[in-house]
Chains A and B, each alone.
Chain A
Amino acid sequence: MIRRRETPKRKQSTRSSRTGVLNQLAAWLQHHRLSAADSLMRVIESPAASLLTWLVIGIALALPVGLNVALDNVSQVSNGWDSPAQISLFLQDGAADDAVRELEAELAARQDVTASRFISREEALEEFRELSGFADVLANLEENPLPNLVLVTPEATLDEPAVLALRAELEEHSDIAEAVLDMEWLQRLNTLMELSRRIVLAVGGMLVIGVLLILGNTIRLAIESRRDEIVIVKLVGGSNGFVRRPFLYTGLWYGVGGGVLAAILVSGALWFLEEPIANLALLYESAFYLSGLGVMGALNLVILGGLLGLGGAWLAVSRHLVHIEPQ
């Protein structure tokens, strides 16, 4: 019985839908424009409350992003020192010059060694004297305490275990007292960096969830305060989508505003740190400069904020709006 009633109706509606689709699209776009503008007006009309929401979101986003920018800068520094690794061979005290020459030839013949450089104990002492400023102390020494040294650069294509194996093999050599791989501190740094990245990721994840919940709650309050209006709109035929739209836009505006503030906060912090870091770099004769967020980074932050805003609003809307029905 129901079927029979519906069939002729359906035919009618397909006939008229040719022109209807465009009109509906136009109406849909128009309501999006209206909702977006109306929501923005409401957000702006209570500047204190909105600013507070923006700040909360901005700080929550700025924290992990700021830390991440800092980590990027540190890894930029460590990457500069990354390759190639170097093995220092400290020679036996008694090794004769012939033996040293023999060792150098041996090293040159090896496939897994790119270069080696002999630094005699006298050269080493001279270099140390110049660099350290301990000239007076050193002058008082009766004997040069430094050993002869060969610096070995392993083949760049060698992976970490291969370099470690090379070091162990060289240490076995009878003329070599000790072989030290200068990569260890770098490994430690990299491990530390990896750990920091994960911590930032975890903290960032928690803050993102926090932002979602804060936004969800803000939108929930907005929904509560407009409960009567929602009921009336539903009574005169407003669909759930129609009722939902302004709240989604409210979430979007809160999120976008928070993203903008986060970008400003991160840029501000970097600007604040720029001069001391430049001075520090100068002291270390480094060409290092602080790299900032960039236009794309800032844009991404705003987009991320917007998406979080929409997400939070969606959470609130899907939980609370369906329960508001006319009584």
Chain B
Amino acid sequence: MITFDRVSKRYAEGHDALREISLHIDSEDFAFLTGHSGAGKSTLLRLIMLMERPSRGQVIVNGQDLAAVRPRGIPKLRRDIGVVFQNHRLLFDRTVFDNVALPLVIAGYEHREIGRRVRAALDKVGLLHREWAMPRALSGGEQQRVGIARAVVGKPKILLADEPTGNLDPGLSAEIMNLFEQFNQVGVTVLIASHDLALISRLHHRIITLQQGYLVSGSSQ
């Protein structure tokens, strides 16, 4: 589903964020991406959704060589990938419902279908009763769950998450990881960047470890 072949990423300032990364994540896999701050976790995720282009090497996502994806093709690629951001990235002047509906509106779903799917996604993350609330009225954990609902509402094949439990308490973190596992069980490929080693080692999934841009363990299952 996701293949990196000797991928390096050097930012404009000359800093090597990723060096010669090769890894493969199969369809319907569940993997954690870990490493110290600055190891390159976010960079790796950004390459998958074409927020950045690699300096060298080849990235293949869902059978598509990303080097062949032109700027016009990027939206289509992103519609097949659900992403959960650490800082939520919600629209604060729209209701929870509208936030979750956004990917469906973009994909051009019909009005009633949108309502049905948004409610199903909100129900899944336990926020159905808050559908008309504004994001600011929600707690951090609730906002994060709105972000997760938005990421999965379009039924993407791949789900990426960057520090989804960043500033949540352990109980809530475990709950959110449990949500990701549920999505994985219905066939979604999940890749989660996290440095919460205590939490992820308890979950018995594949762990890919980065260190200063190098891949040090977990390149294959």
A residues adjacent to B (C-beta < 8 A):
1-2, 5-6, 9, 23-24, 26-28, 30-31, 34, 228-229, 231-240, 242, 325-327
Partner of B75 from the list A31, A232, A239 (CB cut-off 8 Å) is: A239
Contact across chains for A236 and B111 when beta carbons are under 8 A apart: no
B residues adjacent to A (C-beta < 8 A):
49, 51, 63-65, 67-68, 72, 75-79, 83, 85, 89-91, 93, 102-103, 105-111, 150
Query: Nearest 5 pairs between A and B by C-beta?
Result: A27-B108, A237-B79, A237-B78, A239-B75, A2-B68
Given A1-B65, A326-B51, do A236 and B83 touch, yes or no (CB 8 Å)?
A: yes
CB closest chain-A residue, reference B94: A229
A-B contact pairs, 13 of them (CB 8 A): A27-B107, A27-B109, A28-B108, A229-B93, A232-B91, A235-B78, A236-B78, A236-B79, A236-B83, A237-B75, A237-B107, A239-B72, A239-B75
Contact across chains for A237 and B106 when beta carbons are under 8 A apart: yes
Partner of B103 from the list A228, A231, A237 (CB cut-off 8 Å) is: A237
Residues on the A chain within 8 Å of B102, using CB: 232-233, 236
Residues on the A chain within 8 Å of B106, using CB: 233, 236-239, 242
List 10 other contacts, CB 8 Å, given A2-B68, A231-B89, A235-B89: A26-B110, A30-B110, A232-B90, A235-B51, A237-B76, A237-B77, A237-B79, A238-B75, A326-B51, A327-B51
Docked complex Cα distance between A122 and B115 (Å)? 97
Docked complex Cα distance between A1 and B65 (Å)? 9
Contact across chains for B108 and A2 when beta carbons are under 8 A apart: no
CB closest chain-A residue, reference B92: A228
Nearest chain B CB to A25's CB is how many angstroms away? 9
Docked complex Cα distance between A199 and B75 (Å)? 49
Residues on the A chain within 8 Å of B110, using CB: 26-27, 30
Tell me which of B72, B77, B83, B108 has the highest count of chain A C-beta atoms within 10 A of its own C-beta: B108
Docked complex Cα distance between A299 and B79 (Å)? 42
Contact across chains for A31 and B65 when beta carbons are under 8 A apart: no
CB closest chain-A residue, reference B88: A232
Nearest chain B CB to A266's CB is how many angstroms away? 38
Contact across chains for B51 and A236 when beta carbons are under 8 A apart: no
Residues on the A chain within 8 Å of B150, using CB: 236
Docked complex Cα distance between A28 and B110 (Å)? 11
Residues on the B chain within 8 Å of A24, using CB: 108
Contact across chains for B89 and A31 when beta carbons are under 8 A apart: no
Residues on the A chain within 8 Å of B78, using CB: 234-237
Residues on the A chain within 8 Å of B68, using CB: 2, 6
Residues on the B chain within 8 Å of A31, using CB: 105, 108
Partner of B111 from the list A1, A30, A232 (CB cut-off 8 Å) is: A30
Nearest chain A CB to B155's CB is how many angstroms away? 13
Docked complex Cα distance between A34 and B105 (Å)? 10
Docked complex Cα distance between A34 and B93 (Å)? 16
Docked complex Cα distance between A237 and B79 (Å)? 5
CB closest chain-B residue, reference A1: B65
Residues on the B chain within 8 Å of A229, using CB: 91, 93
